[in-house]
């Protein structure tokens, strides 16, 4: 059966990249599929240090963001990862299936650990095996993610294939990454070669989902650009990463392709285009921000939603973990 799984780490304030690259697809897919699971992956967050009180706040914030952006907790299953212990149980099995050589090729570990890999946590290294467990615990067939997660979904397929082969089973499906539309790779507003990220030291590099209209306007006004007018065809953005990024954001927020957006924008200077982008961003984002704040006034209700989601998630997960344990040869599973 087709089933959708995806997640976001509560490791910092949410960005426009998380919204356009991930959550907007989550919302669309909740209507296209019978079963969708969207997780707050708190166990991934702690692969780097998280202050416990902040982790709690950000977990609830992310849950509120999911709902404010349009996920319906009656339809989609919304929960936090640590509330479903089967994730880490399956991850252990996958730690023993995945090969060191595969893990060594993960570019995100290299980016995040930087030059000081000796000081990185073991969890940061093993992260993609836990991600494979998140997905395969539900035999998920589709995973909506941004471009940066493509390699991890490929590793998930490798783990599924090796498990199936080693144990002579067809338990795990070959999951498809769903990477679609103009929003799959939103870049920093200060540097068109870096992805917009929660953890970038510069707050001016990103639009946070908690930014008010004034902050959004200021950041877009200051966003790095070049002196030329916008081209009327996508080809003309090839060597202009900052211009391409702002056009991408415009296209994604207005639900158009880059080509259609350029038909409207071609020939305009940034002095004219940036205020259009500010208006669009504020119109699209402020209702979500306002709703998110409203929901966060009642954290007990958010906790109830997460709890109910975890119960539903475990109903799917438990039998699949049991089958996995049976395949492996664990007694008493
Ligand atoms: N800039 C982006 N463009 C498009 N999609 C993006 N995503 C993230 N940034 C962009 C997508 O959002 C989902 C959740 O991502 P995540 O929580 O696993 O991590 P992150 O937001 O990608 O993490 P950061 O920003 O780099 O912060 P830290 O340093 O905390 O890890 C994914 O589907 C991702 O593709």
123 falls in which pLDDT band (50, 70, 90)? very high
Rounded mean pLDDT, 285-305: 97
Asked if ipTM goes beyond 0.85, one says yes
Beta-ladder partners of 296: none
Which ligand 1 atom minimizes the distance to the CA of 196?
A: 1
Each residue's pLDDT tens digit, 27-84: 999 999 999 999 999 999 999 999 999 999 999 999 999 999 999 999 999 999 999 9
- Identify whether residues 304 and 168 lie together within a single domain: yes
Beta bridge partners of 5: 37
Alpha helices in the chain (DSSP H): 16-18, 24-32, 42-45, 52-68, 86-95, 100-104, 107-113, 122-136, 150-167, 213-222, 241-253, 258-265, 270-296, 299-328
pLDDT per residue as tens digits for the range 232-271? 999 999 999 999 999 999 999 999 999 999 999 999 999 9
Q: Are 261 and 251 in contact (CB under 8 A)?
A: yes
Same domain, 249 and 232: yes
Q: Which of 177-186, 204-213, 214-223, 312-321 has the lowest mean pLDDT?
A: 177-186
pLDDT band (50, 70, 90) for residue 94: very high
Mean per-residue pLDDT, 198-206: 93
- Ligand 1 binding pocket (C-beta < 6 A) is 8-9, 11-12, 17-18, 21-22, 145-146, 148-149, 184-186, 195-199
Task: Check the CA dihedral 212-213-218-223 and report its sign.
Answer: positive
What is the Cα–Cα distance from 152 to 145, expressed in whole angstroms? 10
- pLDDT level of residue 115 (50, 70, 90 thresholds): confident
Are 10 and 159 contained in the same domain?
Answer: yes
Q: Is the pLDDT of residue 332 over 90?
A: no
Distances (CA, A) of 35 to 4, 5, 116: 6, 9, 41
Query: How many residues in the chain?
Result: 333
Q: Do 141 and 22 share a structural domain?
A: yes
The mean pLDDT value for 151-171 works out to: 98
Q: State the pairing for strand pair 36-40/4-8.
A: parallel
Looking at the structure, do residues 129 and 42 belong to the same domain, yes or no?
yes
Retrieve residue 138's tokens. Answer: 């539900």
Residues 17, 29, single domain; the answer is yes
Annotated binding site: 9-11, 17-18, 134, 146-148, 186, 195-199
Binding site per annotation, positions for L-tryptophan: 134
* Chain centre to alpha carbon of residue 223: 23
pTM of the model: 0.94
Same domain, 170 and 110: yes
Residue range of the domain that includes 52: 4-179+298-328
Asked if the structure places residue 186 within a domain, the reply is no
CA distance 268 to 170: 55
Question: How many Å apart are CA 310 and CA 318, to the nearest integer?
Answer: 12
């Amino acid at each position: 059966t087709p089933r959708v799984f995806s997640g976001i780490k509560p490791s910092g304030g949410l960005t426009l990249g998380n919204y356009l690259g991930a959550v907007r697809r989550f919302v669309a897919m909740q209507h296209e599929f019978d079963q969708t699971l969207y997780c707050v992956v708190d166990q991934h967050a702690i692969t780097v240090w998280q202050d416990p009180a902040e982790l709690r706040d950000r977990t609830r914030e992310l849950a509120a963001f999911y709902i404010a952006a349009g996920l319906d907790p009656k339809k989609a299953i919304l929960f936090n990862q640590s509330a479903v212990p089967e994730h880490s149980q399956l991850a252990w099995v996958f730690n023993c299936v995945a090969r060191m050589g595969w893990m060594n090729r993960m570019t995100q570990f290299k980016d995040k650990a930087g030059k000081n890999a000796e000081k990185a946590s073991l969890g940061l290294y093993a992260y993609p095996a836990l991600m494979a467990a998140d997905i395969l615990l539900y035999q998920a067939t589709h995973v909506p993610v941004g471009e940066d997660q493509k390699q991890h979904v490929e590793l998930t397929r490798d783990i599924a294939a090796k498990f199936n082969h080693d144990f002579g089973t067809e338990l795990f499906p070959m999951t498809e990454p769903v990477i679609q539309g103009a929003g799959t790779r939103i870049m920093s507003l200060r540097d068109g070669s870096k992805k917009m990220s929660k953890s970038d030291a510069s707050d001016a590099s990103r639009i946070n989902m908690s930014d008010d209209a004034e902050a959004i306007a200021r950041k877009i006004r200051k966003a790095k650009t070049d002196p030329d007018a916008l081209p009327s065809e996508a080809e003309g953005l090839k060597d202009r990463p900052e211009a391409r990024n702002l056009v991408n954001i415009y296209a994604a927020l207005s639900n158009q392709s880059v080509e259609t957006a350029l038909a409207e924008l071609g020939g305009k200077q940034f002095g004219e285009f940036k205020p259009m982008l500010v208006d669009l961003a504020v119109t699209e984002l402020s209702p979500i921000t306002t709703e998110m704040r409203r929901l966060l006034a009642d954290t007990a209700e958010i906790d109830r939603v997460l709890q109910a989601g975890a119960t539903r998630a475990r109903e799917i997960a438990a039998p699949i973990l049991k089958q996995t344990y049976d395949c492996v040869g664990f007694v008493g599973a």
